[in-house]
Amino acid sequence: MAWQEVVGHEAQIDRFRRNLRSGRLASAFLFVGPDGIGKQLFARKLTQTLFCEVNPEYECNPCGQCPVCLQVIKGTHPDLHYVELLPGTAEIRTAQIVGGAIRINDKEEHFPGVCYEVNLKPIRARRKVVIINDADSLNNTSTANLLKTLEEPPPGAVMILLGTSLSQQLDTIISRCQILSFNALLPEQIQQILLQQQVVDDPNEALELAMIANGSVGLARRYSESDLLETRRELLGLLTALPQQAEKLSAMVIGLVDGKSLSRREKMDQLDFLTSIVVTCFHQVALQLSGQPPSGDPVLIDVSRQIASAWPGDVETALACIDRTLETAYHGRANANVKTLVEVWVDDLSQIWLTGGFKLPT
Ligand SMILES: [Zn+2]
């Protein structure tokens, strides 16, 4: 039942199902994959599996409804210990691992430390579970202290570390954990989650959010609270008749990436966001020019169909637009003058469109 909430990680669920059936569960895991794809939810579902008072753990099928399953999801189960970055900090503090006091908002707070907690006798479950979110942010001292517990955990205890990639982890951690890789989600999977979690009600809007979220539910959620969808629709609308609307398109992009109040980082993020929309669109155009059906949300499909039907060139020329756009994003990061960069880029796209890729004499 409860695993149904986890979308898109069937192979990983299967692996635990096999492990639990055979009674061979490792004691330390490192889950790696991009942020916002459900690693944390997965870790909690696994904890429910181990703690559920209705279904035995070898069934790998937590009920999701019993008081214990609910406690796990709420984070209030006494045998589940959770570590994550404290607000405003860039590192997991050593006190969170080995115990000690940390000053938070002028108040001293005492942390028992997970290395201590995991060694206590379980209160309600048969074992202790520790989830360390943000494992990328463990500093050397925390890691050094954690190693002993990872190497010789108390009987039955399970430690789950969540990070974004193996390159962010020290070899000493990697060698003591079983590694599970989690992939970015497909747009349709993100759409399903957004609807399931009632982030939005409209399936088309959910798919639009999914298309710009780069495989991350976290990003899609954040985008749902901004006006980025409107921006995307406007940009795609201008692209449909690019040669006639080149000036408008330039002005729109420059207005968004060259605002005085924006930091350099924000400008680059905006340019990345806008260029990635154009890349996705020309990718769909190229697919259609090569006889394949488009995919994505209705807005993207509609716009890319219109462009493909008016496109005088071949697939290569649509791919040239992608290359030209990626180049622009690259130069934007390399500190080029954004205004000129955008104007030349949009002008080049118009020229490719108008001439079918035939280079005009200069
Ligand atoms: Zn249960």
Whole-number Å distance, alpha carbon 49 to ligand 1 midpoint, is: 8
Distance 50 CA to ligand 1 centre (A): 9
Strands (E), the chain: 28-32, 80-83, 100-104, 107-111, 129-132, 158-163, 178-181
Q: Write b or e for each residue in 69-94: b if 16 or more Cβ atoms lie within 10 A of its Cβ, otherwise e.
A: bebbbeeebebbbbbbebeeeebbbb
Confidence category of residue 361, pLDDT binned at 50, 70, 90: very low
Distance 356 CA to ligand 1 centre (A): 62
Determine the pLDDT at residue 194: 93
CA 200 – CA 223 distance, rounded (Å): 11
**Residue 255 pLDDT grade (very low, low, confident, very high; cuts 50, 70, 90):** very high
362 versus 282: the higher-pLDDT residue is: 282
Contacts of 75 (CB under 8 A, 6+ apart): 82
CA of 144 to the centre of ligand 1 (A): 35
Instruction: Show the domains of the chain with their CATH numbers.
Output: 2-183 (3.40.50.300), 227-355 (1.20.272)
Q: What spacing in Å lies between the alpha carbon of 188 and ligand 1's midpoint?
A: 29
Distance 48 CA to ligand 1 centre (A): 7
d(CA 362, CA 343): 17
pLDDT digits (tens, 9 = 90+) for 84-121: 999 888 999 999 999 999 988 888 999 999 999 999 99
Starting at the edge strand found earlier in the chain, the sheet holding 178-181 runs 80-83, 129-132, 158-163, 28-32, 178-181
Q: How high does pLDDT run on average in the chain?
A: 91
3-class SS of residue 271: helix
DSSP state of 77: -
DSSP reduced 3-state for 250? helix
Reply yes or no on whether the pLDDT at 357 is more than 70: no
pLDDT digits (tens, 9 = 90+) for 135-144: 999 988 999 9
Q: Does 263 or 202 have the greater pLDDT score?
A: 202
Residue 179's beta-bridge partner residues?
A: 30
